[in-house]
Amino acid sequence: MPAFTFFIDNTEYSGNSRQLLACVTELRSMNYTVAVGVLGRETPWSILLADSGAVVSHFNSKGFWDIKALFKLRKWLQQIPSDFLHLISLNALDAVGLASPSFVSKSFLSGIPDTRFRPNAWRKILLAKVRKIFCLTLASKNRLQTLGIPASKVAHLPPGISPQNVPQSLAPLSEMPYLLSSGPFHHDFNHRDALWCMDILHYVKPEIKLFLTGTGADLNSLHSFRAALMTKEFIRFTGTVDFLEPWLANASIILATNLTPGGYYSALEAMLSGKPLITSNTLGMAEFVEDGKTAVLYAPGERAELAKRIRLLLDDPARGAEIAHNARESAESRFSPKHHVAKLLQYYDDYK
């Protein structure tokens, strides 16, 4: 049987980590040998990867120019038996490009940013060498082609995830009704839509709170934005969470307002949770949901519209339950790990 190797920059909770676990679990169920290299430290998701049957190696990198970690990575790449090397994230591509450039031409790449992605000169060189670049949406595929990446090198690979079984002891302590928005928080101003709409919503729904889970480069800016809005009592940051399922299960509505690929995974997590979803009306998101049937869409940047749609959904729980039911059926039938891996294997077969 073929051996598969995945390399990811870190396994902190993210859409990339979740997709990797779903992919590895499905491949192991098919009796494939799977190895996973992690540039960063061990996390609970690393343990889940090992429990699924993958051989997981960590390089504990402390930064981009950590020579010791790059040396370990180079040695690992040379020793691990693999028919296919799959890199997950641009940071993973950068690391392989520094540690062992010859492996870039043997690699597949996924986990790249979406509409705002503009590669620098270094990354243009690396992207030109990889075998295939996988995009979550047709919109992102078209975007890469406008940047000069040949159509033959870009492929559409929709995500495929499943709910995780986690201990009930991890359930949130809060019993109040709340909205949920999850990170990582990159420099994506649409996370501010969720905060800003609370400046409107708390006047008509003072019992509702907003929880934001995760961390990221824009977290301090979001804290400052909350302070400027003077809505601290209505908006709470939880910090890093290892598992999102308990938070999803107890939420009233899930918000996916960010425009990065993480927003697609946030949307799928909401759909699988059986909770109603409100998300940004973008070209990419339109490939995942249908407005009024599997989600409620709003125009990015329109905070008043977002607040109105939240209020209407809170006032009509029957409609929210119907949307959530439709969304779960759609996610399970269209975005399962089985479908994701089947399409991935088709692409791999082209390079046997």
Give pLDDT tens digits for 217-257. Answer: 788 888 898 888 888 889 999 888 878 888 888 899 999 88
Question: What's the confidence (pLDDT) of residue 174?
Answer: 60
Indicate the number of domains in the chain. Answer: 2
315 and 173: one domain?
Answer: yes
108 and 175 share a domain?
Answer: no
Provide the CATH number for the domain around residue 272: 3.40.50.2000
Q: What is the tens place of the pLDDT at every residue in 139-149?
A: 888 888 888 88
Same domain, 145 and 186: no
| Nearest to 244, CA basis, from 216, 265, 221 | 265
Report how far apart, in Å, the C-alpha atoms of 91 and of each of 58, 94, 234 are: 15, 5, 35
Q: Residue 111 is part of which domain span?
A: 3-162+336-349
Angstrom distance (rounded) from CA 73 to CA 70: 5
pLDDT at 189: 58
Using DSSP's 3-state secondary structure scheme, residue 38 falls into strand
Q: The whole model's pTM is what?
A: 0.89
In this structure, of 10-14, 114-118, 256-260, 330-334, the range with the lowest mean pLDDT score is 114-118
pLDDT surpassing 60 at residue 165: yes
Give percent of the chain above pLDDT 90.
57
Confidence of residue 120 (pLDDT cuts 50, 70, 90): confident
| Cα separation, 227 vs 205, whole angstroms | 20
Residue 1 has what pLDDT? 63
Q: Alpha-carbon dihedral of residues 87, 91, 97, 100, nearest 10 degrees?
A: -70
pLDDT value of position 93: 95
Tell me how far apart the 2 most distant CA atoms of the chain are, in Å. Answer: 61
Do 276 and 341 sit in the same domain of this protein?
no
pLDDT category at 188 given cuts 50, 70, 90 is low
Predicted confidence at residue 11, as pLDDT, reads 92
Do residues 115 and 84 both lie within one domain?
yes
Same domain, 285 and 330: yes
Same domain for 218 and 264, yes or no, is: yes
Tell how strand 178-182 and strand 253-256 pair up: parallel
Phi, psi of 35 (to 5 degrees): -120, 145
The confidence score (pLDDT) of residue 169 equals 55
**pLDDT for the residue 164:** 72
Backbone angles phi, psi at 96, to 5 degrees: -65, -35
Q: Is the pLDDT of residue 75 over 60?
A: yes
**Same structural domain, 327 and 342:** no
- Express each pLDDT in 263-310 by its tens digit: 788 899 999 999 999 998 888 888 999 999 999 999 988 999 999 999
- Claim to verify: residue 265 and residue 232 sit in the same structural domain: yes
Are 60 and 180 in the same domain?
Answer: no
Query: Is the domain of 104 the same as that of 211?
Result: no
% of residues, the chain, pLDDT over 70: 92
Mean pLDDT of the chain: 88
Q: How far apart are CA 233 and CA 298, in angstroms?
A: 25
Claim to verify: residue 148 and residue 252 sit in the same structural domain: no
pLDDT at residue number 313 = 95
pLDDT band at 166 (very low <50, low <70, confident <90, very high): low
Give Cα 83 to chain centroid, integer Å: 26
Q: What is the pLDDT of residues 23-69, one digit of tens each?
A: 999 999 999 999 999 999 999 899 999 999 999 999 999 888 889 99
